[in-house]
Structure 1
Amino acid sequence: MTHKDKALSLFSQGFHCSQAVLGAFAEELGMSDELALSVSGSFGGGMRNGEVCGACTGALMAIGLKYKFFKADDIGSKEKNNAVTSEFLKRFKEKNGSCLCRELLGYDLSDPKQQAEAREKGMFSEFCPKMVASAVETAEELMNE
């Protein structure tokens, strides 16, 4: 199963966008599915407030696992992680117009009325899978370069 297929499968099961994206990469990056789904569970819908798209935050978590930076004095790892993070955000924004959930969806998920309207319009079932796929593809491109 490809990363994209796994992410879309997770999303269709009811997991948040952030969980779907990180979950697609978790095993190969040394993280259990349970831990990946748990740690990324609070990031869907731009942290439920329309901020940075959860698909992006899930991808950035995967990038963080691939390009580890965990020693404060490891400047090389820090610079590599920062560079790949910046490039991911740049490419995602170029492909989709924004990295912010509220701008991508056209609805502010911090407003219950707008959240309900987005759900009624099928945004979560029709639009969000496209962002999940885009985030996975973009992360995969960078991790394979």
Structure 2
Amino acid sequence: MNKHIEKAMELRNETPMVSNCSQTIMRCYAEDMGISEEMAAGLGCNFGGGMKCGGVCGAITGGLMVLGAKGVENPAKVNEFRRKIAENHDGMVNCVDLLRANAARGGNKKEHCDKMIQEAITLIDEMV
């Protein structure tokens, strides 16, 4: 398992869990981005739960912020990141849709979100 995924799962298994999907990804890369974990958590706080309204998944938005911090801003590369995740989830990128589909399959919310985080981290690490 890579160091970013290990860190993410440590954060997701904290009791109580205080980091949403976006914050988790941001905190995992804080050192790489030259910021504190507190700053990373602050930057990601409003992107969990699909920007707190069911919009684009926080793992995706967190991943896009990390990619931007690492200099990946080419529209084709950014779209590739989003597209690859969407392809793995029947075209869905919105939190509300992803969670609804997961629930319909009888899935657990935390496990689903943990997998979305792992998927985003894997793609980030492949792209940079």
TMscore range, shorter length: 0.7 to 0.9
Tell me the TM-score normalised to structure 2 length: 0.83
Counterpart CA distance in 2 for 1:99 and 1:90 is 9
SS where residue 88 of structure 2 aligns? helix
User: Where do 5+ consecutive residues of structure 1 fail to align?
Assistant: 69-77, 108-117
Distance, in Å, in 1 between the alignment partners of 2:89 and 2:119 is 8
Match of 1:73 in 2: none
TM-score (norm 1): 0.74
Tell me what 1:55 maps to.
59
Determine if the alignment matches structure 1 residue 132 to structure 2 residue 125: no
Are 2:96 and 1:102 aligned? yes
Quick check: 1:12 aligned with 2:13? yes
Q: Deviations over 1:16-58 (max 9, x none)?
A: 0000111111211212111101110111010121100001111
**Structure 2 residue runs without a partner (length 5+):** none
Counting aligned pairs with the same residue, the percent is 37
Task: State the SS of the aligned residue for 1:99.
Answer: coil
Q: How many residues align?
A: 120
Partners of 1:55 and 1:20 lie apart in 2 by 8
* 1:1-145 alignment runs, 5 A limit: 2-13=3-14, 14=17, 15-67=19-71, 80=74, 82-97=75-90, 98-106=92-100, 123-143=108-128
Change (3 A) 1:45 1:123: farther
CA positional deviation for 1:87 = 1.1
Between Structure 1 and Structure 2, whose CA radius of gyration is higher? 1
Where 1:135 maps in the other structure, the secondary structure is: helix
Sort the Cα spacing of 1:41 and 1:135 in 2 relative to 1 into closer, same or farther, 3 A: same
